[in-house]
Amino acid sequence: MSDVNKVVLAYSGGLDTSVIVRWLQDNYQCEVVTFTADIGQGEEVEPARAKAEALGVKEIYIDDLREEFVRDFVFPMFRANTIYEGEYLLGTSIARPLIAKRLIEIANETGADAISHGATGKGNDQVRFELGAYALKPGIKVIAPWREWDMTSRETLMAYCKERDIPVDFAGAKKKSPYSMDANLLHISYEGGILEDPWAEAEEDMWRWSVSPEAAPDAATYIELDFKCGDIVALDGEPMSPATVLETLNKVGGANGIGRDDIVENRYVGMKSRGCYETPGGTIMLKAHRAIESLTLDREVAHLKDELMPRYANMVYNGYWWSPERKMLQAAIDDSQRVVNGKVRLKLYKGNVIVAGRQSADSLFDESIATFEEDAGAYNQKDAEGFIKLNALRMRIAANKGRSPL
């Protein structure tokens, strides 16, 4: 007899998680609660309710988390200018702590003993879901079917459905994209299929959110973004909520061929993985945020942020969003953003995001000092001589001792 009476499952309504519902019922003799999150994946989530009901599920949660996702997860991450291994804008990674948080909240609300997810034993998501769950509820039991059952492919899952009369659109499952895809308001990712060969170029018809740069308009698109404390609050002068900002930037960016990336990344579990990503809005946000910071941040603060960013990116990628070290870093990053206010004008053209202007009441740019024209004594150029000699002092002493750098 299983010691699990009730389990909350992160449920998409697709083949994998539909199989998991019945597998949990059969193998753990437990009640299953399904949780489906709308984080802007671009597909209707409400049909998951009928699918869960057909599987005998009595407690069904379908939550619109789009605003919370962008406000409390995407925006804080972009305040750090976060990018993993120089390329990946962490679209999948940043969604997982929110889903883990909601799984635990529902477990508490329903008195569930366990949570479950459909992440495989080869990937990063199992780590992200479970690290988050354990941080938020240390005693929770986690059931990861892909680490327990002997099913290894879509065909074996479909056979399981037929054996147990699980209502699945078999024709639709067979026609499914050859890629493993994950989407939310920040990005859409593609893995598997021909992408498992790092030499193979991604097929043009794979991309869903963007036109190719070659097919983008011949005329540039200009946009203006208003920042307050490091977050975008308006687009072209129109105030917008966080989710609306990102959704709008995805559309305008995708229309201009912006945001495609093809990456071989290092997974936390040890293997290398090739994936393709579309992140139009995030690509624009990163460029704009760095532009407004260049105007408003102190030099050493900006440089320290850049030094800390890879550590922060690793925390997000590896699933440590709820860790004390990430929270500590976030506090420092957020403190730096108090002065990151102003406006950035961008030119979008055939896959490029070009800064066309920036302005801020908190700007540290002093034209009277930086000018190449007459500065009326604002900067004494003679001061540079002593500055240079003092900075060269240790090298001069070493050279005089015969320690030539040549």
What does pLDDT average to over the chain?
95
Nearest to 250 by CA among 28, 89, 372, 58: 89
Chosen domain end from 127, 148, 176: 176
In the structure, what pLDDT confidence band is assigned to residue 1 with cuts at 50, 70 and 90?
very low
CA distances from 82 to 77, 87, 215, 264, 286 (A): 6, 10, 29, 18, 8
Would you say 126 and 117 are in contact if contact means Cβ atoms under 8 Å apart?
yes
Is the domain of 206 the same as that of 117? no
pLDDT digits (tens, 9 = 90+) for 113-155: 999 999 999 999 999 999 999 999 999 999 999 999 999 888 9
**Bridge partners (DSSP) listed for residue 133:** none
Is the domain of 248 the same as that of 284? yes
Number of domains the chain contains: 3
- 67 C-beta neighbours (distance < 10 Å), count: 14
CA distances from 141 to 46, 99, 227 (A): 28, 16, 42
- 3 C-beta neighbours (distance < 10 Å), count: 9
Q: Give residue 44's pLDDT.
A: 85
Flag whether 328 is in a domain. no
Is the domain of 231 the same as that of 142? no
Flag whether 344 is in a domain. yes
Would you say 261 and 273 are in contact if contact means Cβ atoms under 8 Å apart?
no
Flag whether 332 is in a domain. no
- Mean pLDDT (whole number) for 253-260: 98
Tokens of 285: 């946000």
Q: Give residue 86's pLDDT.
A: 97
- Domain CATH for 198: 3.90.1260.10
Q: Which residues are catalytic?
A: 16, 96, 125, 180
Flag whether 131 is in a domain. yes
- 330 C-beta neighbours (distance < 10 Å), count: 17
Residue 28: alpha-carbon gap to chain centroid: 34
Give yes or no for residue 344 having a pLDDT over 90: yes
- The answer for residues whose C-beta is within 8 angstroms of residue 183's C-beta and 6 or more apart is 40, 41, 42, 43, 189, 208
pLDDT digits (tens, 9 = 90+) for 164-216: 889 876 555 555 678 999 999 999 999 999 999 999 999 999 999 999 999 99
Would you say 260 and 210 are in contact if contact means Cβ atoms under 8 Å apart?
yes
Is the domain of 107 the same as that of 48? yes
Q: Give residue 170's pLDDT.
A: 54
Would you say 286 and 317 are in contact if contact means Cβ atoms under 8 Å apart?
no
Is the domain of 142 the same as that of 271? no
Give yes or no for residue 91 having a pLDDT over 70: yes
Flag whether 324 is in a domain. no
CA distances from 135 to 97, 127, 188, 327 (A): 10, 12, 27, 13
Q: Give residue 177's pLDDT.
A: 76
CA distance 402 to 406: 11
Chosen domain end from 176, 193, 210: 176
CA atoms within 13 A on the CB side of 10: 28
- Mean pLDDT (whole number) for 352-379: 95
Please name the residue ranges forming H helices in 137-279: 154-163, 170-174, 242-255
Share of the chain above pLDDT 90, in %: 92
In the structure, what pLDDT confidence band is assigned to residue 2 with cuts at 50, 70 and 90?
confident
CA distance 349 to 220: 5
Flag whether 325 is in a domain. no
Flag whether 348 is in a domain. yes
Tokens of 290: 């760095």
What range does the domain containing 217 cover?
A: 183-297+340-359
CA distance 39 to 182: 11
Is the domain of 162 the same as that of 206? no
pTM for the whole structure: 0.95
Is the domain of 137 the same as that of 236? no
- Domain CATH for 102: 3.40.50.620
Give yes or no for residue 58 having a pLDDT over 90: yes
Give yes or no for residue 43 having a pLDDT over 90: no
Flag whether 225 is in a domain. yes
- Mean pLDDT (whole number) for 293-298: 98
Nearest to 288 by CA among 331, 228, 336: 228
Nearest to 262 by CA among 246, 273, 254, 252: 273
Is the domain of 248 the same as that of 389? no
CA distance 303 to 171: 54
Is the domain of 292 the same as that of 273? yes
Chosen domain end from 118, 149, 176: 176
Is the domain of 58 the same as that of 190? no
Is the domain of 237 the same as that of 350? yes
Residue 70: alpha-carbon gap to chain centroid: 10
Give yes or no for residue 33 having a pLDDT over 60: yes
Please name the residue ranges forming H helices in 297-323: 299-318
Is the domain of 277 the same as that of 145? no
pLDDT digits (tens, 9 = 90+) for 369-384: 999 999 999 999 999 9
